[in-house]
Structures are given as C-alpha cells and as structure tokens.
C-alpha cells in the first residue's frame, strides 16, 4: 500500500471515528474541559496525516490554574505533522449562513519559538477533493512566548478568501473547519515548527449591517409616531 493511500485511509478512519455532526449554532463554545471535543490534527488529503496528535493541557488557559486548553504541535518536517493544523468535522460543520453566525472567536497563545500567523480554513466536501474552499483573509499574528490573545475572525463572503468554488455555497454547507498557521491566505500552508494553545472557541451571531439597523430604527420611529397620532385623535 502506498503512503498516499495509507494516509487517506487513516484520515478517513479518523473522520468516521468522530461523533455524529450536528448543525453549528451561535451558542457553540469549546472549552476543552471534557477533552479534545472533536478536534484532531492533519491537513486532509493535501496536508497528510498528523505526526503529532493534539493534546489537552489541564491547566494554564486564559483563566489560569485549572483552565484546560487545546495544544496543537507541528515539527516542521517534510513528513506527516510538518504543518500546524487543527481540524473539526463535528460541531463546527454545518450551515453558517442559516445559523446567523458572523464570526468565530477564540483565545490563542504561541507556546513555541516560531512566530505564528493563525487563520481559519473552511472546506466542503470531505474526505473527497473539495469543491468549495476558503480561508480568512486576515491572520492573527502571535509572537513567540506571547501571552493569551483574544482573536475574532469575521465570517462572511467579504472576509474570506476563496480558493476554489463558491464562498456562499461553502458557508451554507461547511463540512470541516480548520485552525492553522499560514503566512499566506492559502492552503495547505508552509511547513513550520511550532506549538499553539487554543481555548474558548466560540460562535458569534452576525451583527446586522448599519443600513439594516438604520432601517429598523426608522421603522420603530414610524410606529411610535403613528401611535402618538392615534393617541392625539383619541383624546
């Protein structure tokens, strides 16, 4: 069996071993108090199978002692595990548009000696070759040895860089979400030796556009004026 076939076989086995996926929702938050919570490492068919599986540290999260968090590690080698990638095909898969999710927030910490550029990567389908894929245009930069940083990644067709297919279709049918370190808005990323701490991954409901808010406020004002006129007539 070739290495590519073996990698694909192990990767598919990892997917099927995950809990049944459910639709992502704005109340989703991963604190890693109960373990990995569906997160595993690997770059998929393009990035290979992880050489260093993710772990959970029982203490040292943003809240301090007793606050657990996810640890992602990459060794920078040419083999499996050379890229810093964490992925989830369970609770973070689904229809982001229908759920009204406008951003994903998380706490990040660079635990290694190499600068990290953290981005999100959305893909559909999986484990087949993706027809739709996109990454966040902007990266969160983490210096080596930095403290915990609260990051917010806006999720929309305007803030995602399309790598293939349709971003709007992708957000309506995301199969897998990845957290990765990549200087460029592309995937798979360059190989890197690094260690990343992740905690409190949270879905945030979309905020209405300013024009929508103005229209809503205008509607309330019209209703109030109408009610006031009715009151004057009644008196």
State pLDDT tens for residues 86-141: 999 999 999 999 999 999 999 999 999 999 999 999 999 977 789 999 999 999 99
* pLDDT score, position 129: 87
53 vs 17: CA distance, rounded Å: 15
Q: Hey, what are 127's tokens?
A: 């484990």
* pLDDT score, position 137: 96
* pLDDT score, position 14: 44
The pLDDT of 141-157, averaged and rounded, is 96
Domains in the chain, ordered, with CATH?
3-207 (2.60.120.430)
Ranges 10-14, 67-71, 90-94: which has the least confidence? 10-14
The terminus-to-terminus CA distance of the chain in angstroms comes to: 88
* pLDDT score, position 225: 46
DSSP output for 214-228? HHHHHHHHHHHHHHH
* pLDDT score, position 27: 87
177 vs 179: CA distance, rounded Å: 7
- pTM, two decimals, is 0.79
> If you average pLDDT over every residue of the chain, what do you get?
82
For 193-231, the pLDDT digits (tens) are 999 999 999 999 986 555 433 443 444 444 444 545 555
Torsion sign across C-alpha atoms 113, 115, 119, 124: negative
Q: For residue 44, is pLDDT > 90? A: no
Where do runs of H (alpha helix) occur along 125-209? 167-172
């Amino acid at each position: 069996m070739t290495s590519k076939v073996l990698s694909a076989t192990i990767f598919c086995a990892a997917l099927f071993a995950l809990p049944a996926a459910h639709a992502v929702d704005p109340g989703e938050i991963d604190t890693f108090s109960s373990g990995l919570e569906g997160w595993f490492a690997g770059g998929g068919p393009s990035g290979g199978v992880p050489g260093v599986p993710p772990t959970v540290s029982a203490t040292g999260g943003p809240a301090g002692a007793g606050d657990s968090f996810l640890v992602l590690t990459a060794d920078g080698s040419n083999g499996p595990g050379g890229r810093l990638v964490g992925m989830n095909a369970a609770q973070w898969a689904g229809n982001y548009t229908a759920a009204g999710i406008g951003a994903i927030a998380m706490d990040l910490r660079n635990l290694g000696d190499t600068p990290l550029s953290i981005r999100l990567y959305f893909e559909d389908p999986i484990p087949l070759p993706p027809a739709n894929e996109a990454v966040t245009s902007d990266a969160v930069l983490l210096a080596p040895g930095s403290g915990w940083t609260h990051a917010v990644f806006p999720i929309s067709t305007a803030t995602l860089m399309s790598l293939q297919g349709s971003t709007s279709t992708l957000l309506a049918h995301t199969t897998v979400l990845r957290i990765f370190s990549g200087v460029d808005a592309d995937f798979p990323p360059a190989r890197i030796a690094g260690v990343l701490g992740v905690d409190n991954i949270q879905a945030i409901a979309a905020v209405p556009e300013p024009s929508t808010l103005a229209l809503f406020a205008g509607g309330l004002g019209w209703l109030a004026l109408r009610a006031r006129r009715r009151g004057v007539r009644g008196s």
